[in-house]
Structures are given as C-alpha cells and as structure tokens.
Structure 1
Amino acid sequence: MFALMQSTRTQSLHLCIDPATGLKAVIAIHSEQHGPAMGGCRYLAYPDDDSAMSDAVRLAQGMTYKAALAGLPFGGGKAVVIRNPHVENRAALFEALGRFIDSLDGRFIVGTDSGTSTVDMDCIAQSTLHVTSTSAAGDPSQHSAMGVFAGIRATSMARLGSDNLEGLRVAVQGLGNVGYALAEQLHAAGADLLVSDLDPGKVQLAMEQFNAHPIAPEALIGTPCDIFAPCGLGAVLNGQSVMQLRCAAVAGSANNQLTTLQIADQLENRGILYAPDYIINSGGLIYVALKHQGADLGSITAHLARIPSRLTEVFAHAQAEKRSPARVAQMLAERLVYST
C-alpha cells in the first residue's frame, strides 16, 4: 500500500473500525495543496481490504486532478465504507463515520458517491460539519449529468465535427442517478439511446420514458455506436474491452474509467477519442464545492459551463502533440497541483 501511495503521491491514508456499528472505513487524502480534501463516500462490498484501500487512493487522486482542472480551492480525497450485508443500523453506521471524519479537523469534506445518498449524508451531518450533499444542500447528480451532457457535445464536435446530438447513437452504461439523468438530457436532445444496467427496472423505465433500446450489460461495450458513455463503476476500459469498442468516442460520468494510463494510448491508436473522466464528470464536484462555500445557483451554473471549453482545450492540445487526451489532462493537472 505504501508503494501505491508513493506512486500516486497520496498524502495520507486513514483507517477506522467501529465495532458497535460494524463500520470499517478508509479515508484517503491525496492532496491538501490548494485546500481541504473533498470527495465522495462509497459504500460497497469489496473482495478484500486491500481492494478497498486501493480504490480509495486512486479515486482520491482523481478528485485532486478534478478539483485542480476545475479551478476549485480544494484537494482530493475519498471515503470508502466496506459494506457488510448484515448491518443492523445504517444510520448509526454513518453517524459513526461522521465522528471519524470530524476527528480529521476539517482536512476532509465528504459527499455522496456510489452506494450512498443524501439520507446517509444527513446521518453523517449529525456528527460533523464537514459534509456536503445533504438534503439541505441538494443531490449533485443532476449537475454531474449536466456537465457530462455538455462534455459529450464538446466531444462530438471534436470527433464528429458537430455538437448536434440529433440522431446520434449513444450507449449509456449504467442508469444510476447520474446515468439516468444523462439519458434524460440526451433523449431531449434527440439522441438515439442504447442502455444497460444490472437493474432491469431502470432499463424498463428508460425504454418507456426515452424510447431507449435495451442491451445486455455484457454486450453493450461491443455494440456499434457513436459515443460510448460509461456511467457505472470504474475500470471498465481495459486491454480486452478496448478492443471490443465500436465507437468514435468515449465520454461518460464514471470515475477511473481506465485501468491504466496505457489504455488511453490504445484508445488513441484505435482512433477513439477519450474525454478524460475527471474533466467531463466534474459537474458534481463543482456543485458541492461551491455550494459548500455558499455560492448561488447562478455562479455554480456559470462554473459548470466551463467544462466543454476545458475539454476542447485538452483535445486541441492532444491533437497538436499527437498524444492521448488522458495524458494531456494528467500533465495539466499535475502542473497545477505540484508546481505551486
């Protein structure tokens, strides 16, 4: 684990056990260079403790890059709660997590992520002020989707020569809060939707509301489309799956879509344009960060509107240097984080 922390320049890793509630949690603080670390809390089952810690570290690094490229005065962090199938009192568990977060004295500010909700954040808020995405603050999912939608238009312009999504074939992988909201916006723009999710009820709803075409989860990545939008968990793009892609571009809301940076080079070699995840999906962080600072909705919306221009800048830079946008984005982020 120390080797992973060194390779990602992670500042600290915090572990907590609360026997009374069954809480087993990891908080990774990647950087406090530009402010306190901010990041979501995942509540998922993991095959082992090392997998949970690795997930926290890599996601925290992505949050640092996301905050830096979005121009936010925060560093990156991530909380991971290892899900136990036999939790007696979920509210008490998240209140215990809140006490753990409070013990960090404001170094980490938590929000929602996969497996958690505003209700969980309300429970955390019983024990600490260092929390976002509460019922009072609002769910950031719609703003995440707004940013991804704008990013898809910018990606379409860069790869296909037009940001008009009418008739564009978009494959949305994962219909969680962000994925479903994105599908709604794509449908309103006239896109032809292909969808998959492990929950058949969500797929059925997308078929009814958006005239979406259902595709089996294992088949979606190889289905011909214009844009593939990963909106579930990360690591969907690996050496095998990249060779199955039949699309012009990848642009979605999932964090850590690439298993390694070398996968981005494979996408580039195949002529598939990749929209770096920590740029295109920064809308949620922008919303919770600025909301936490007391910004009004107009200021938040104006900041969200900068996502397409950031992507366009990275695409242009990548084309000029004949490099993957992922490598360019990482270079720009690390320059912002480590050179000041």
Structure 2
Amino acid sequence: MTSVWDLPDFDDHEVVHFVHDRISGLSAIIALHSTALGPGAGGTRFWHYAHREHAVTDALRLSRGMSYKNAMAGLPMGGGKAVILADENGTKTPEMLAAFGDAIEGLGGRYVTAEDVGITDADMVAVSQRTRYVSGLPVSDASSAGGDPGPFTSHGVYLGVKAAVAEGLKTDSVRDVRIAIQGVGSVGSGLARLLTADGAKLVLADVNNDRAAALAEELGAEHVASDAIMGVDADVFSPNALGAILDEKTIPGLKPKIIAGGANNQLAKAEHAQLLHRQGIVYAPDYVINAGGIISVALEYLAQRDGEPCSREQVMERVGRIPERLKAIWQESAERDMPAANVADAMAQKRIGRA
C-alpha cells in the first residue's frame, strides 16, 4: 500500500492510528486531523471496504471534514473519525467493540467518538464500558442533550434545505418544491418527514429499494431506483447517503439548481466545486449543513465533562444557526465569484490555524 503520507487525502493529519486486535478480530483506523480547537470529535463508521486503502482514504477525508465541521459550527472540538473494517457479513461482536473502546481510551482523550453509519447507540453504550470518551449515549430525560444524533442532523439539513431554496428559488416556502432525496436512512428519512409536513413534493431513492418504497407510500411521495435519482427533474437534489457522488461525470447531467443534503464528502474531488459553481448551482457545503449531529454530540460530551447541564433546547438553538452560516458562505461566494465549497474551506482553515 502507498504510504499514508503520500495519499492525496492526507492533509497534515496529526495522527493516523491503525488498530488490530487479533483475539477479537477488530481492524480499525482512527484518524485525527486537527486538535487545534479541542479533542478530535467524530463518529465511528462500521463498513465493509473492498480494499483496505479505501478505508484509509475514508478515515482521512472524514476526519478532515470533522475539523471543518466543528470549526464552522463554533464548537471547541477538533476533527477526528474512526472506521471499523467490517467483513462481508458485517460481523460485529461485543469483543470487537470492547477492543475498540480500549483503543480509544489509549489515546487519552484526544479522540471522542459517537455513532455513524453502521453503528447504533447500543454499540456506543458497549464502547463506553471501556472508555469515557464517548458521546451520543441514550438519555432517560427527553429534555436533556444526548441520545441518537441522527434527528439533530436531519433537522439541521431540513433548515439548510429551506435556506437553499430561499437562496436559489427566492421563496421562503418549500410547498410544492420538488426535492429528490438520495438515501432514506436515519437522516434522509427524518428530512423527508419534515419536508413532507411543509408540503414539499418528494422523490425518494435508496440502495434498499424496499425501504424507499415503504417511506414513499407512507409520505405520499414518488420513489425511483437508486441509480436513477440523480437524473430526476427536480428543484433540489438532496444527497443523504455515502459521498463522492459529485464529479465530472454526474455534475453536467444534474437538472436541479440546488444541492443540499446530509451526506459527507459529496464532492469526489475538491476541483469539482468549480463545476457546480460554473453551472450556477446553489451548493450547501456538506459539513456546514449536516452539523446538527455533531453539535448534539459535542454539547453532550462537554456538559458531561464539565459537570454542567445541557438541554435539548440548547442543542436545537445551536442547530438553528446553520442557515445563517450558509447564507454567509453564499454571500461571499457571490461577492468573490468563488465556489461555495471553497469559501467554506477557507473559513474553516482560518479557524483551525491552517489558512
């Protein structure tokens, strides 16, 4: 395998920690991009990668995204991410989670983890038996911060979609706005329900076609095959599955003039931001619009660490600031004739001292 230092997505990461536990069979990667603002915070992804190099790339890109996400959300947290390499059967055992918890504890607080794709809050409870550096744990009091961060991510993306519609379509309502949603897992399904309540016209797709069909029936929406969603004639395309979907092949064929969704690393390469800009597409940088979950996770962790209460209301207030950050990015993008993604990157880099 090529040296980590030579990979295109290596961006002066502080630590790339390779974990292997022979007894449990755990193989994982913990990447810390920057701890300039605080401990690296970011969820753990449980995924089967066809090649281990892909797992390394994922960890590098996701951890860098978390640095930017936390900085833009105004959180005193750095950027980190973990990926657990699943086998083809998705085998996940208590022993693996225990070994993973030990690996996090061994970093001495430089990394704080939570749920991500393939990981549940129950898994995080298991990990928390071996390390204190875990957030997103279930709470008994519904008014307190904590629990599954997915709904907070959905709510932030919902607010971001509305802001993007206001920017691109010059309307404060999403009623009758046609929105194509790619991925209806935890975040995408929550987003779909919120938009349906506002009268939006949805087209849904997911790699699990039955899941998309069931949600479409529930909401009175359309659904299409997962490989057809990017060709749908809509006002908004909302990617909420895995990343690297926007590239030189897919961008020219996009019919929507707005892209706003919760998927991480939507651009296959940084230079693809310029293609969106040239096509006049209003783009909501992913790590800005999808920050709701990490806002919840970070405030929960900081409250526990400092012994101070933090309510769900406080979390929602912070999530509610996502549209104002997007508007500032779009304003500067227009003033400087610069892609929104590049504007956001420059803002984030300045905040973590890497301008």
Q: Do they superpose with TM above 0.5?
A: yes
Assess if the C-alpha contact under 8 Å between 2:136 and 2:297 holds in 1. Answer: yes
Q: Secondary structure at the match of 2:317?
A: helix
Deviations 1:174-212, CA, capped at 9 Å, x for gaps = 011001000000100100000001112311221222111
Q: Which amino acid aligns with 1:150?
A: L
Inter-CA distance 21–85: structure 2 relative to 1 (3 Å threshold): farther
Match of 1:299 in 2: 314
Q: Which amino acid aligns with 1:55?
A: D
Do structure 1's residue 91 and structure 2's residue 94 form an aligned pair?
A: yes
Q: Secondary structure at the match of 2:338?
A: coil
Q: What CA distance in whole angstroms lies between the structure 2 residues aligned with 1:296 and 1:256?
A: 30
Question: In structure 2, which of residues 41, 52, 61 is the aligned counterpart of residue 38 of structure 1?
Answer: 41
Question: In structure 2, which of residues 193, 209, 215 is the aligned counterpart of residue 206 of structure 1?
Answer: 215
Q: Which amino acid aligns with 1:264?
A: A
Assess if the C-alpha contact under 8 Å between 1:5 and 1:11 holds in 2. Answer: no
Which consecutive unaligned segments of at least 5 residues does structure 1 have?
A: none
Q: What CA distance in whole angstroms lies between the structure 1 residues aligned with 2:153 and 2:91?
A: 32
User: What are the within-5 Å matches in structure 2 for residues 280-299 of structure 1?
Assistant: 280-294=289-303, 295-299=310-314
TM-score (norm 1): 0.97
Match of 2:282 in 1: 273
Question: In structure 1, which of residues 228, 232, 235 is the aligned counterpart of residue 241 of structure 2?
Answer: 232
Assess if the C-alpha contact under 8 Å between 2:44 and 2:119 holds in 1. Answer: yes
Match of 2:168 in 1: 159
Q: What CA distance in whole angstroms lies between the structure 2 residues aligned with 1:144 and 1:177?
A: 9
1:10: Cα distance to partner?
A: 1.1
Do structure 1's residue 179 and structure 2's residue 160 form an aligned pair?
A: no
Question: In structure 1, which of residues 2, 16, 41 is the aligned counterpart of residue 5 of structure 2?
Answer: 2
Deviations 1:148-193, CA, capped at 9 Å, x for gaps = 0000111111111012000000000001100100000010010000
Q: Which amino acid aligns with 1:184?
A: R
1:14: Cα distance to partner?
A: 0.2
Q: What CA distance in whole angstroms lies between the structure 1 residues aligned with 2:199 and 2:122?
A: 34
Assess if the C-alpha contact under 8 Å between 2:98 and 2:126 holds in 1. Answer: yes
Q: What CA distance in whole angstroms lies between the structure 2 residues aligned with 1:43 and 1:320?
A: 41
Inter-CA distance 89–335: structure 2 relative to 1 (3 Å threshold): closer
Deviations 1:225-271, CA, capped at 9 Å, x for gaps = 00000000010111111122110110000000001111111011111
Assess if the C-alpha contact under 8 Å between 1:21 and 1:89 holds in 2. Answer: no
Q: What CA distance in whole angstroms lies between the structure 2 residues aligned with 1:305 and 1:89?
A: 36
Assess if the C-alpha contact under 8 Å between 1:13 and 1:28 holds in 2. Answer: yes
Q: What CA distance in whole angstroms lies between the structure 2 residues aligned with 1:159 and 1:89?
A: 44
Match of 2:28 in 1: 25
Question: In structure 1, which of residues 325, 329, 333 is the aligned counterpart of residue 344 of structure 2?
Answer: 329
Q: What CA distance in whole angstroms lies between the structure 2 residues aligned with 1:108 and 1:296?
A: 23
Do structure 1's residue 112 and structure 2's residue 115 form an aligned pair?
A: yes
- Cα RMSD between the aligned structures? 1.4
Inter-CA distance 125–263: structure 2 relative to 1 (3 Å threshold): same
Inter-CA distance 228–26: structure 2 relative to 1 (3 Å threshold): same
Q: What CA distance in whole angstroms lies between the structure 2 residues aligned with 1:107 and 1:156?
A: 38
Q: Secondary structure at the match of 1:221?
A: helix
State the identity as a percent.
35
TM-score (norm 2): 0.93
Match of 1:215 in 2: 224
Assess if the C-alpha contact under 8 Å between 1:112 and 1:118 holds in 2. Answer: yes
* Count of equivalent residues: 340
Q: What CA distance in whole angstroms lies between the structure 1 residues aligned with 2:185 and 2:136?
A: 16
Which consecutive unaligned segments of at least 5 residues does structure 2 have?
A: 140-145, 304-309
Q: Which amino acid aligns with 1:54?
A: T
Q: Secondary structure at the match of 1:327?
A: helix
